[in-house]
Amino acid sequence: MEKKNIFIIGGTSGIGRALAEYYLDLGCVVGVSGRRQALLDELKRVNPTRVFTYASDIKALACADLIKSVHEDMGKIDIIIICSGIGEINASLNAGPELDTVKTNVLGFTDAAIAAYNYFERNLPKYGGQGALAGISSIASFRGSDLAPSYYASKAYVSNYLEGLRKKALKNKLNLKVCTIIPGFVDTAMAKGVGGKEGLFWVAPADKAARQIARAIAKNNAVTYITKRWRLIAWILKVLPDFVYNKI
């Protein structure tokens, strides 16, 4: 893979952290944003010359300024990946976790996606080449959930929003590939929080998920399931009748 400048929004842990480490192993320059300064410092120590870190909370809705700072530090950004996301079981339907999930996974994601798309729209004509914007959705995006309603709904939003940007880039003849990443269960703290340890199967290690995501972005795949077998689950969820799904 050609060495590129990568910016990962939400790269301090989980899939985002695994992606940062994978791209660093390829020799890329990697920018990472996240809320936890200690984890950013830890990543910076891995490779001080090729890692740029930014303490930032996606809920602050300041991604345009954030991406501007990344560009000033790293130069042209080739790939932006939005990994920030939260989710947890909320069977009692407390308002706090539901609204916090929406603020992060919907409002924060939207701010990041707008900022990223506008960055490429401004800069690709100047620098040439091709850009890539990827966002992490979920297999949860295909149906609703009684245990984590806002998480499942927010991931459906992510998938549809990215499809809209993909269509927009195509109509505007912008040389930007918009990639929707749909993981099943990946061995991260968030997956265990949403699925519960007892409900996990076909769990992919984070480093394996990162490799597959990076390859999908390099191939300009519009939609990619991580791992591929989750495409079958997606199909089942789409066709499963409500009276059967509601018993699960």
Look at strands 223-226 and 29-34 and give their pairing.
unpaired
Res. 225 pLDDT band, cuts 50 70 90: very high
Average pLDDT, the chain: 94
pTM of the full structure: 0.94
pLDDT of residue 115: 98
Half-sphere exposure of 237 (CA within 13 A, CB side): 15
Question: In this structure, which amino acid lies at residue 132?
Answer: A
Average pLDDT over residues 1-10: 90
Please tell me the distance from the alpha carbon of residue 215 to that of residue 15, in angstroms, as a whole number: 14
Query: Could you tell me the residue range of the domain that residue 14 belongs to?
Result: 5-245
Number of domains within the chain = 1
DSSP state of 108: I
Identify the CA nearest to 31 among candidates 15, 55, 14.
55
pLDDT digits (tens, 9 = 90+) for 137-159: 999 999 999 999 999 999 999 99
> Quick check: helix, strand or coil at residue 7?
strand
Torsion angle (degrees, nearest 10) of CA 43, 207, 78, 24: 40
On whether the CB atoms of residues 171 and 121 are closer than 8 A, the answer is no
Tokens 């390829």 sit on residue: 26
- CATH of residue 14: 3.40.50.720
pLDDT digits (tens, 9 = 90+) for 42-65: 999 989 999 999 999 999 999 999
Phi and psi, residue 136, nearest 5°: -95, 110
Please tell me the distance from the alpha carbon of residue 141 to that of residue 14, in angstroms, as a whole number: 19
